Structure formats: structure tokens, C-alpha cells
């Protein structure tokens, strides 16, 4: 039905990339404008890790902006800021965006920020967030964007880990009708953190005036008024472009490091070969700059490709209605669109017949990509039916930085299968291994792993903790990168992702660690022990629920405890975690040696079949937990067992 996309053969390209990665990626690297082209394609870094293009020199902001101006695209729109929550739309041509970025790079330079220094960006979805990121890249500083929904404690953890010289923030973010003042959150985080930040630069928005009362506070606009533009500085391919913290299995987030060279080659490749867009076309990813999708496909990827990108400050619904996505596509002639399935579940709930779609001309749209969480078949079918264009579910992670599996629309079109994330992308040798490390056959479930070397663009280390990188990703199955997802490959080579095999959950497309929430819940004076698990949710995919044991002798009404714990998780992690339910238990399922059986609890919560482990001390508790989670019951279970 959708033939005519393919120009070469996927199988040929895939096997070329695996048989001779060096030649394949050397060829792809020619598509970007290096200051100094790399002569070494694949080598080892000082951690003995695979490293791409080590002696290449480039600048990511130059590639995103100046390069296109040199190519004659200076007047073309580079970025559209579309904000239904403030009723604002503005556009920046490549020249205008380059000038803004160069001047803000001057601000950072004036504050003493130089190559290798870290800058934390805690900002909502406004153009200045992208400008700040690109300004860091321009001077070789390493940005670390923290999602605006994170509470001060989480921001403080990231400040202490990244040790930035400067923090950049806006006076507020806007969530539907409510305005969230950011500066008090930043002040609180700075109070909690041990690291001393030198400057806090605040962009005043008209909705809230932040108080700039601390010695380190600076006004964005005043600094900008005095700043001189700065030219891009060459950096090494292996120099970090950014750190993006992501949830792991413990409460402490992992600082995923992204290099400059591999990232630029991989993203440029993905825009051509996977998303099939060309310079001058409009690419829209509705996500947030605080997540990897925002980094790769709102800011860097589309700009590297010379596309127009859209920064949308709104929600799929209620800003003002469930037709807002269709309105943006029609207004800006979007050619390729990417968002999380949750967004469409919200739209479908409010407008099940997609009646609002009829109000807009969305004929510019060629392909829709979804990722970030599992797409349920009903939503997938609904999208196919209402849009009549290819709907591609594709799969990747913060760590990989770009898709691992997809329909490669710029290589060859293969019919998607509902429930599958399609085919491994050239460069990724995706395999399914059993726990014992044996390769699984078609249809057999196991750990989804990627045989080393990873292609360009994937994380080379965890910021400041290479051992954690080795432990988290490379030690489970030696010679393979461990994705943390379980799944299988069918007889046609299509990959199916069945969910995480660790303590990471995915709430409305947001990745969260249950360990992070457990730390908060366990800190309540009435709580003796707890386990937080992800429970299936029709709208948000998963939501967390806490299994809680109350301390002996403490008498607290379950509803009151639940309210207090919900308030604590909102205050310490963020409201977007959607922690709303606890179940009081007498005991947690444990091995006889006292280890909590998290894997079984997870399976119960996911309503997946589970085997009662031989080592369990009390099998009855499993049925009780299953019933309680299913019924959403707060109350004491397991009494007397
Ligand atoms: N800053 C501050 N608070 C935030 C926030 C942010 N950036 N993002 C979410 N929150 C808050 C919300 O205001 C809400 O607070 P409340 O409990 O006081 O109402 C809470 O976190 C839960 O938010 P959410 O789970 O997003 O639910 P919602 O009902 O507010 O919105 C959707 C539902 C579907 C509109 C929303 O989840 C959405 O847009 N999802 C798509 C997410 C996405 O694009 N992910 C892509 C990652 S690739
Ligand atoms: P993040 O690092 O926030 O992008 O989250 C990555 C995780 O989200 C993956 O490890 C998966 O568990 C999940 N994920 C991402 N895309 C998909 C998808 N298309 N289908 C199923 N799960 C997905």
C-alpha cells in the first residue's frame, strides 16, 4: 500500500553495516561537515571502550546552524515555537537562530564558561531552552537538561553529579492552566545540593516574575544585552556534547554521556535513512527537551538535517482541545511527526472518532512515528485508520540516543506489524539471549541485547562512574550491551519489546526508577519496608504502586498514609511520577534468605504469568498481592499468613 519509499535493499544495507562497521560508518561520516575529517573510524578510548571517529574535529552547533547558512538555507525557518498555553507562535530562520545562539554563547563565555564545563538547563518548552543547548555546544560546554517536572531533590542530585558552573532556568513553566514557578524550585535544589553553582541565570517570563535575590542570580536579558556573539569552537569527536540523566535500577540516576562526533553522524543518518526527511522539510517531535527525544529530535537531529523543527509548548489535549496536534501539523505543514503513544491515548479518549481531525488539512503528513513506551494494538489500529499513512512504532533508549529498531523509511519500506517495533536498524546487531546467555530462536522470549560494538551515537560511559556503565550495561552478557528490555524476534526478523526486565517503569512515556520512589516511601516514619512496582494503566501505560509494610506498633489509617506518601513522592520526585496508590502488606515476598522477590512482584503487577520461586518463604502472599493490585485496594493484606 505504501510502496515507493525504498531506494535500496534493507537486508543488503543491514548486513554491510554488521560485516564491516568501519567502512559503513566511514561512508556515513562523509555526510557531515567536519572541521577535520576523522582518519581513525573505530578505536578504543581510555576506558578500553569502542570509540568512533576519535581524531575528527567538529562543532555540533555549527553543523546545526552555520553550515546551513553557508549552504544557502539562511532564510529558511529553522525553528518554530508554537505555544497554545501562551497563545504565541514565533519563527526563527537559520540566520536568526544562529545569531541568538551565538549571542547566548557570548553570555556563557562572559560568565567564564569554557570547553568541558557543565551547564544545567532547567527550562520549560520555550525556544530559549534550545538556544541554551546550542549555545553550550557552540563553546564546547557540556549541557545537562533536567526535565522541568522533576522536584528540587532530583535537580539537586543532578547538580551534585554534574557539578555545573552555571544553571539556566526560566521563571516558570505552564502545565495546562497552572503556572509553575521554577525559581523557588531551583533555589531549593541549590540549598539541598553540596556543589556550589557560580551563576544562576533566570529568564523572566511574563506569567511569573522570579525574585533574583541571591548573590549568584543573574538576569538572562540583561546579560544578553551586553553579550557579544561567539564563533563555534572545534571540539574532538569524543568530547562530550551533553549529559542526560536517566533512571536506572537504583535511586541515583545515571548520567548518560553523549559524544559530539558519533552523535552528529548517527542523527544525520537517522533523519535520512529512518525518518526519510530532507533539508527544507518540517519534522516535529512532540516531546520535551528534558528527555532524549527532545535532544535528538527536537533540537539536534532536525537541525543537522536542515529541517524546520517545532518546539511545542502544549499538551495533546486541553490546550485547547484534542485537535491541537492536527492544528499544528496543518499550520506548519509537518511532513514527519513523532510522539509517544500516551499522547494519542489521551486524544482518543477525548475524541474517539477523531472528529476534530476533519477540521484540519493534514495532507502534508507522510509518516507518523511513535516510541517511548509500548503502543497498545487498539491505539495503533486507530491511528492507522484515522490517518491512512504509515504508522511506525520504533524502539530506542536514552542510552542509544537514536532508534535501534524501526521501519527504515529512507532505505526500504516493510509493512509494520502491530505490536512490533519492526526491524533492527543497520549498525545494531540485536539479539535475544536467555538468562544463561544462549541465543534464542524465533518467537522465544529473552533479554534484548546488542552485540558490541555499538554503532556511533550510543553512550560511551556514565558521567563520572565508568564502573557503573560496565556494571549496568556490559557485565550481564559479556560482549553485548544489555538494554534492560525483554522481548523476542519473530520468524520474519521483526522485534517485539515486551517490557523492562529491571526496576525501570514507563509512566506516560516518562522513564522512572521504582528504586527512586522506594527511597522516598521508605523515609516515612511509619514505613518499615516497601517495594514500588509498575502497574498496567490504560491511559499512562504504567503507573507506580507502593507495597508498604507499616512499622510494628504504629497505628495509622491507610488512607491517611497513602495521602502522605503520595504527597512525599510528588514533592521529592515530581507529580509526573503519578504515584497515587499504596497497598499495605503484612510481608513482602522474599526468599528464605531475606531478598525481596522483585521479579515476581513485577510480573504480578504486569499481569504476566509467573512461576512461584522454589526459594520463596511464603507463596500465599503472591496471590494476595495480585488481588490487591488488581482491585486497587488499600488495606492490610497478608494478615496471619
Ligand atoms: N512540569 C511540571 N509538572 C509536570 C510536568 C512538567 N513538565 N509534566 C507533568 N507534570 C505534572 C502534571 O501537571 C500533573 O500534575 P497534577 O497531578 O498536579 O495534575 C502530573 O505531573 C501528571 O502529569 P501527566 O502524567 O503528564 O498527566 P496529565 O493528566 O497532566 O497529562 C497527558 C496527560 C497525556 C496530556 C500527558 O501525560 C502527556 O502529554 N503525555 C505525553 C508525554 C510525552 O510526550 N512523553 C514523551 C516522552 S518521549
Ligand atoms: P527512555 O530512555 O526514556 O527513552 O526509555 C527507554 C525505554 O522505553 C526502553 O528501554 C523501553 O523500555 C521503552 N520503550 C521505548 N520505546 C518503546 C517502544 N516503541 N515500545 C516499547 N517500549 C519502548
Distance CA 413, CA 61 (A): 32
- Which pLDDT band holds residue 638 (cuts at 50, 70, 90)? low
Q: Is the distance from the beta carbon of residue 416 to the nearest atom of ligand 1 less than 6 Å? A: no
Q: How far is CA 308 from the centre of its chain?
A: 21
Ligand 2 in contact with 100 (CB < 6 A)?
A: no
**349 touches 340 (CB < 8 A):** no
Task: Output the nine-digit C-alpha cell for 616.
Answer: 520463596
Residue 70 burial (CB count, 10 A):
12
Grid cell in block for residue 100: 541568538
Measured from the Cα of 574, ligand 1's closest atom is 21
Nearest of 152, 123, 158 to residue 243 by alpha carbon: 158
Any ligand 2 atom below 6 A from CB of 487 = no
- Give me the phi and psi of 28, to 5 degrees please: -65, -35
More confident residue, 634 or 578: 578
446, 535, 525, 160 alpha-carbon torsion, rounded to 10°: 60
Indicate if ligand 1 lies below 6 Å from the C-beta of 270.
Answer: no
How far is 321 from 522, CA to CA, in rounded Å? 39
Q: What is the whole-number distance in angstroms between the Cα of residue 393 and the centre of ligand 2?
A: 11
CATH fold of the domain at 508-630: GMP Synthetase; Chain A, domain 3 (3.30.300)
- Residue carrying C-alpha cell 569554557: 114
Which ligand 2 atom is the nearest neighbour of the CA of 483? 10
Whether the model clears a pTM of 0.75, i.e. scores above it, the answer is yes
Grid cell of 609 as nine digits: 504469568
pLDDT over 90 percentage in the chain: 87
Predicted local distance difference test score (pLDDT) of residue 2: 41
Find the ligand nearest to 292 CA. 2
With a 6 Å cutoff on the Cβ, whether 502 touches ligand 2 is no
Q: Are 152 and 132 in contact (CB under 8 A)?
A: no
Beta-bridge mates of residue 530: 548
| SS3 call for 358 | helix
Q: What are the CA-CA distances from residue 532 to residues 409, 592, 608, 638 (Å)?
A: 39, 21, 17, 17
Q: Is the pLDDT of residue 15 over 70?
A: yes
Each residue's pLDDT tens digit, 78-91? 999 999 999 999 99
Burial of 621: CB neighbours in 10 Å, binned 0-12, 13-18, 19+: buried
Choice among 33-37, 321-325, 579-583, 592-596 with the minimum mean pLDDT: 592-596
| pLDDT tens-place string over residues 387-414 | 999 999 999 999 999 999 999 999 999 9
Is residue 60 predicted with pLDDT exceeding 90? yes
400 closest CA partner among 472, 299, 296, 514: 296
- Span from the CA of 480 to the centroid of ligand 1 (angstroms): 35
Q: Helix (H, G, I), strand (E, B), or coil: what is residue 603?
A: helix
Q: DSSP class of residue 474?
A: I
As a whole number of angstroms, the distance between CA 104 and CA 218 comes to: 13
Ligand 1 atom showing the smallest separation from residue 175 Cα? 13
pLDDT in tens, 292-314: 999 999 999 999 999 999 999 99
pLDDT single digits (tens) 186-196: 999 999 999 99
Q: Is the pLDDT confidence value at 35 over 90?
A: yes
The C-alpha cell at 306 is 536542515
If pLDDT is split at 50, 70 and 90, which confidence band does 8 have?
A: low
Of all residues in the chain, what percent are helix, strand and coil, respectively (each to 5)?
Answer: 30, 25, 45
Residue 586 has pLDDT above 90, yes or no: no
pLDDT tens-digit map of 521-567: 999 999 999 999 998 889 999 999 999 999 999 999 999 999 999 99
Whether the per-residue pLDDT at 641 is higher than 60: the answer is no
Residue in the block written with cell 516515612: 524
What length is written for the chain? 641
C-alpha 362/C-alpha 2 separation (Å) is 17
Report CA dihedral (554, 559, 562, 563) to the nearest 10 degrees. Answer: -110
Most ligand 1 atoms within 8 A of CB, residue of 150, 155, 175, 402 to mutate:
175
Quote the ligand 2 centre to 297 CA distance (angstroms): 15
Residue 238, SS3 per DSSP: coil
Pairing status of strand 254-259 against strand 240-246: antiparallel
DSSP letter for 551, please: P
Contact 400 CB / ligand 2 (< 6 Å): no
| C-alpha cell at position 484 | 534492560
Can you tell me which residue has the cell 536514552?
398
Give 248 Cα–ligand 1 centroid separation in angstroms: 21
In angstroms, the Cα distances linking 430 to 98, 455, 497 are 38, 12, 12
Residue corresponding to grid cell 524550585: 185
Amino acid at each position: 500500500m505504501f510502496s515507493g519509499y525504498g531506494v535500496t535493499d534493507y537486508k543488503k544495507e543491514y548486513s554491510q553495516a554488521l560485516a564491516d562497521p568501519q567502512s559503513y560508518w566511514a561512508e556515513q561520516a562523509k555526510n557531515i561537515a567536519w572541521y577535520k575529517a576523522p582518519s581513525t573510524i573505530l578505536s578504543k578510548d581510555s576506558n578500553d571502550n569502542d570509540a568512533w571517529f576519535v581524531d575528527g574535529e567538529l562543532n555540533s552547533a555549527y553543523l546545526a546552524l552555520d553550515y546551513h547558512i553557508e549552504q544557502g538555507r539562511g532564510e529558511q525557518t529553522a525553528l518554530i515555537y508554537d505555544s497554545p498555553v501562551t497563545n504565541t507562535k514565533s519563527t526563527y530562520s537559520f540566520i536568526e537562530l544562529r545569531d541568538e545562539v551565538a549571542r547566548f554563547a557570548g553570555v556563557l563565555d562572559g560568565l567564564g564558561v569554557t570547553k568541558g564545563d557543565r551547564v544545567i538547563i532547567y527550562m520549560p518548552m520555550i525556544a530559549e531552552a534550545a538556544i541554551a543547548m546550542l549555545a553550550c555546544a557552540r563553546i564546547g560546554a557540556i549541557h545537562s537538561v533536567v526535565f522541568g517536572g522533576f522536584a528540587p531533590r532530583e535537580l539537586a542530585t543532578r547538580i551534585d553529579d554534574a557539578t555545573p558552573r552555571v544553571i539556566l532556568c526560566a521563571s516558570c513553566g505552564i502545565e495546562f492552566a497552572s503556572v509553575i514557578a521554577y525559581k523557588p524550585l531551583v533555589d531549593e535544589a541549590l540549598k539541598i545540593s553540596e556543589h556550589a553553582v557560580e551563576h544562576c541565570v533566570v529568564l523572566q517570563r511574563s506569567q511569573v516574575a522570579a525574585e533574583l535575590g541571591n548573590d549568584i542570580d543573574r538576569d538572562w536579558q540583561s546579560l544578553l544585552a551586553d553579550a557579544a556573539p561567539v564563533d563555534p569552537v572545534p571540539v574532538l569527536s569524543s568530547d562530550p556534547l551533553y549529559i542526560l540523566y536517566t533512571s536506572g535500577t537504583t535511586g541515583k540516576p545515571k548520567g548518560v554521556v553523549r559524544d559530539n562526533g558519533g552523535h552528529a553522524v548517527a542523527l544525520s543518518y537517522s533523519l535520512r535513512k529512518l525518518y526519510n526527511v530532507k533539508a527544507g522539510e518540517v519534522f516535529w517531535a512532540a516531546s520535551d527537551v528534558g528527555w532524549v527525544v527532545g535532544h535528538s529530535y527536537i533540537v539536534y537531529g532536525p537541525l543537522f538535517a536542515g529541517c524546520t523543527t517545532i518546539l511545542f509548548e502544549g499538551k495533546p489535549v486541553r490546550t485547547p482541545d484534542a485537535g491541537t496536534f492536527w492544528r499544528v501539523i496543518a499550520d506548519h505543514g509537518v511532513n514527519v511527526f513523532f510522539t509517544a503513544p500516551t499522547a494519542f491515548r489521551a486524544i482518543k479518549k477525548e475524541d474517539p472518532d477523531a472528529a476534530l481531525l476533519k477540521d484540519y488539512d493534514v495532507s502534508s503528513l507522510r509518516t507518523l512515528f511513535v516510541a517511548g513506551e509500548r503502543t497498545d494494538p487498539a491505539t495503533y489500529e486507530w491511528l492507522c485508520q484515522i490517518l491512512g499513512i504509515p504508522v511506525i512504532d520504533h524502539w530506542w533508549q536514552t542510552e542509544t540516543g537514536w532508534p535501534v529498531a524501526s521501519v527504515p523509511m529512507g532505505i526500504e519500506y516493510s509493512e509494520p506489524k502491530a505490536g512490533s517495533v519492526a526491524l533492527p536498524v543497520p549498525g545494531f546487531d540485536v539479539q535475544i539471549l536467555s538468562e544463561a546467555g544462549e541465543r534464542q530462536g524465533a518467537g522465544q522470549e529473552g533479554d534484548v541485547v546488542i552485540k558490541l560494538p555499538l554503532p556511533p551515537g550510543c553512550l560511551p560511559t556514565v558521567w563520572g562512574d565508568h564502573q557503573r556503565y560496565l556494571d549496568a550495561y556490559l557485565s550481564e552478557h559479556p560482549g553485548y550491551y544489555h538494554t534492560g528490555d525483554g522481548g523476542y524476534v519473530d520468524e520474519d526478523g521483526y522485534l517485539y519489546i515486551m517490557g523492562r526486565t529491571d526496576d525501570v517503569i514507563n509512566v506516560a512515556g516518562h522513564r522512572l526508577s521504582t528504586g527512586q520512589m522506594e527511597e522516598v516511601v521508605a523515609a516515612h516514619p511509619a514505613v518499615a519496608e516497601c517495594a514500588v512496582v509498575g502497574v498496567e494503566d490504560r491511559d499512562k501505560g504504567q503507573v507506580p504502586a507502593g507495597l508498604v509494610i507499616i512499622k510494628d506498633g504504629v497505628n495509622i489509617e491507610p488512607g491517611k498514609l497513602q495521602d502522605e506518601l503520595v504527597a512525599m513522592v510528588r514533592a521529592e520526585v515530581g507529580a509526573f511520577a503519578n504515584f497515587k496508590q499504596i497497598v499495605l502488606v503484612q510481608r513482602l515476598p522474599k526468599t528464605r534468605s531475606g531478598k525481596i522477590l522483585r521479579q515476581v512482584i513485577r510480573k504480578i503487577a504486569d499481569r504476566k504469568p509467573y512461576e512461584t520461586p522454589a526459594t520463596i518463604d511464603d507463596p500465599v502472599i503472591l496471590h494476595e498481592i495480585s488481588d490487591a493490585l488488581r482491585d486497587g485496594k488499600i488495606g492490610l493484606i497478608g494478615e496471619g499468613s
